[in-house]
Amino acid sequence: MSVDLSFFSLILEASLVVQLVMLLLVFLSVVSWSLIYRKYRTLTTARHQAEAFEDQFWSGLDVANLYRTLHARRDDLRGLERIFEAGFAEFARLLKQTNEAERIMEGAQRSMRVVLGRETDVVERHLSFLATVGSTSPYIGLFGTVWGIMNSFRGLSNVQQATLAMVAPGIAEALIATAMGLFAAIPAVIAYNRFSNDVERLLNGYHNFMEEFAHLLHRQAYDREIRTRQAEGRAK
């Protein structure tokens, strides 16, 4: 007697627990691929926007004019644009209130750090889910495999003579769960490692820009403070 060992037949004839495990793994795999596609687009867009903004920033364009251009479309800013806009806005506001360079720079850097934290949340979003899928899917599949093999050997207890044809379908359907677990886990792990590296490089670029921009602002604030003190000294 031939036994149907086709992929779909084994799934349909599997026990309810094994079928639920397979369904869960399929769901995790679909969600993972969806997030991988979205995360790839998000990081690619963020990298291109950062490169375009840095080219514009270091092209010699007046910083005040650049700020006014970005501020006009404030709701659409992302990444370095938001960091620059927030830092320069606070810098300009404090510049009208005090001549103390350290106080001005403390406020500007604080504003940039707040925005950097928000941008970090955006680029790191869903990475933990990919890590979770990558680490737990093989164990979920292994659970389905163990359960299926247990059912196969339990069924053999009611027969006097066991044959390979009686054991093979149950073991095959059980091993499908492990295969599906690996199918869900491997892309998630690869994507997590790739995206983690991309996020780290992107955030390092954000930090480097903040340091360079803060240096430029500090030099302006310090020069203004010196000129103000000199003017006050001449007035006396």
Query: pLDDT tens digits, residue range 91-121?
Result: 888 888 877 878 888 888 999 999 999 999 9
Alpha-carbon distance of 222 to 189, in angstroms, equals 49
Averaged pLDDT, 3-31: 75
- CB-neighbour burial class of residue 156 (10 A; exposed 0-12, middle 13-18, buried 19+): middle
Domain for residue 121, yes or no? yes
The residue among 189 and 5 whose pLDDT is bigger is 189
Least confident range from 51-55, 114-118, 144-148, 164-168: namely 164-168
At CB < 8 A and 24+ separation, what contacts does 89-98 make? 91/217, 91/221, 92/67, 95/221, 95/224
189: tokens are 């792990």
The residue among 13 and 91 whose pLDDT is bigger is 91
Domain for residue 210, yes or no? yes
Q: Which residues touch 67 (CB under 8 Å, ≥6 apart)?
A: 84, 85, 88, 89, 92
Q: How many domains does the chain have?
A: 1
Domain for residue 113, yes or no? yes
The residue among 76 and 84 whose pLDDT is bigger is 84
Averaged pLDDT, 148-169: 65
pLDDT digits (tens, 9 = 90+) for 111-150: 999 999 999 998 998 899 999 999 999 999 998 888 888 7
Domain for residue 87, yes or no? yes
Domain for residue 83, yes or no? yes
Alpha-carbon distance of 167 to 159, in angstroms, equals 12
Averaged pLDDT, 40-51: 92
Q: Please determine, for residue 1, whether its predicted confidence score (pLDDT) is greater than 50.
A: no
Domain for residue 2, yes or no? no
CB burial string 38-55: b at 16+ within 10 A, e below:
ebeebbeebbeebeebbe
* Helix H or strand E encompassing 151: helix 127-156
Alpha-carbon distance of 106 to 184, in angstroms, equals 47
Q: Residue 152 CB: number of other CB atoms within 10 A?
A: 20
Is the separation of the CB atoms in 196 and 120 below 8 Å?
A: no
Tokens 């659409």 sit on residue: 76
Domain for residue 81, yes or no? yes
Phi, psi dihedrals of residue 158, rounded to the nearest 5°: -95, 0
Tokens 């004839």 sit on residue: 13
At residue 3, the pLDDT reads 46
Structural domain of 155: 7-235
Domain for residue 193, yes or no? yes
The residue among 132 and 174 whose pLDDT is bigger is 132
Q: Please determine, for residue 156, whether its predicted confidence score (pLDDT) is greater than 70.
A: no
Alpha-carbon distance of 178 to 22, in angstroms, equals 9
